[in-house]
Chain A
């Protein structure tokens, strides 16, 4: 039974989005990738979910500002293992233009293990799709 479930689950990871203090640029691109039919990520078998408890692949945007840090880490803890983390935009990866600011505590990989990076400010929907495909590949090995 477990084997069958594993096989099915591989084909349909659930995506979950965390905004760690992003300027909204990356979130607009994520929304574009998710919601408008032109880029439709659900073709890849994945689906956005509203609860961290259901998530398999986590997409994080933003430089992890000091204000949201605790909340983001708490949320991240709630996501069950195994999970795959994708950093979207230069903010979570390196801090981007906010690097060295007193208001941010990132880069995100100081606190959260990241698997895939999709730099860009913001990245194009196709680049985000590339990143999700990479994440699905990792997801399949973790199940």
Chain B
């Protein structure tokens, strides 16, 4: 009994152990996997993320007018597993530390992460193609020289032609 009193007395002078959230600041453990964020500028539409996604949350498809590709990630089936980030070659998709996910039912299907990759035209023949992001070049080549910079704006066919010239 006396030991209990001791603890009770000691706790009386300690600050509360309760996390002040939602009335105050809370903490985020480092490396926490929260909602995914997508950067269309770095994406090369390799569809690896769509392929590995455990929750089947990612869809990449061509828009109706065929002007580019649309990326959609539905947070309501994402498991925060991080496979997309792990396998993405350019790190165009990353998990943030934002885990605040509560929303009303009417927003259920609007609760998505979206992005649009606009096709560019090949500098040689003009065929529409997915632009090659600087992040991919950085990953593939240590130094991006002039020649590579020119190849970057060509479609695979024109690239082959130029390389074999």
Chains A and B are bound partners: yes
- Which positions in A face B, CB cutoff 8 Å? 37-40, 43-44, 90, 93-97, 99, 109, 113-121, 123-124, 126-131, 133-134
User: Does B116 reach chain A (CB closer than 8 Å)?
Assistant: no
Main SS at interface, chain B = loop
The 24 sampled A-B contact pairs (Cβ below 8 Å) are A40-B18, A43-B18, A43-B23, A93-B108, A96-B79, A97-B55, A99-B77, A115-B104, A116-B102, A117-B102, A117-B104, A119-B75, A119-B111, A121-B79, A121-B80, A124-B99, A126-B21, A126-B22, A127-B99, A127-B101, A129-B21, A130-B101, A130-B102, A134-B104
B contact residues, total (Cβ < 8 Å): 29
Cβ of B80 and Cβ of A120 under 8 Å apart? yes
Chain B residues 52 to 80 lying within 8 A of chain A, measured CB to CB, are 54-56, 74-80
Instruction: Kindly state the separation between the CA atoms of A133 and B105 in the bound complex, as whole angstroms.
Output: 14
Inter-chain contacts of A39 with B (CB < 8 A): 18-19, 21
Inter-chain contacts of B19 with A (CB < 8 A): 38-39, 126
- Which positions in B face A, CB cutoff 8 Å? 16-19, 21-23, 26, 32, 54-56, 74-81, 99-105, 108, 111
Closest chain-B Cβ to A38's Cβ sits at a distance in Å of 5
Cβ of B76 and Cβ of A94 under 8 Å apart? yes
Cβ of A117 and Cβ of B105 under 8 Å apart? yes
Inter-chain contacts of B74 with A (CB < 8 A): 94
Closest chain-B Cβ to A79's Cβ sits at a distance in Å of 17
Q: Can you add 19 more A-B contacts, CB < 8 Å, to A117-B76, A126-B100?
A: A37-B16, A37-B17, A38-B17, A39-B21, A93-B108, A99-B77, A109-B105, A117-B102, A118-B101, A120-B80, A121-B55, A121-B81, A126-B19, A126-B21, A127-B100, A129-B22, A130-B100, A134-B102, A134-B104
Cβ of A90 and Cβ of B108 under 8 Å apart? no
Closest chain-A Cβ to B35's Cβ sits at a distance in Å of 9
Could you say which of B22, B54, B78, B111 contacts A130, with CB atoms under 8 Å apart? B22
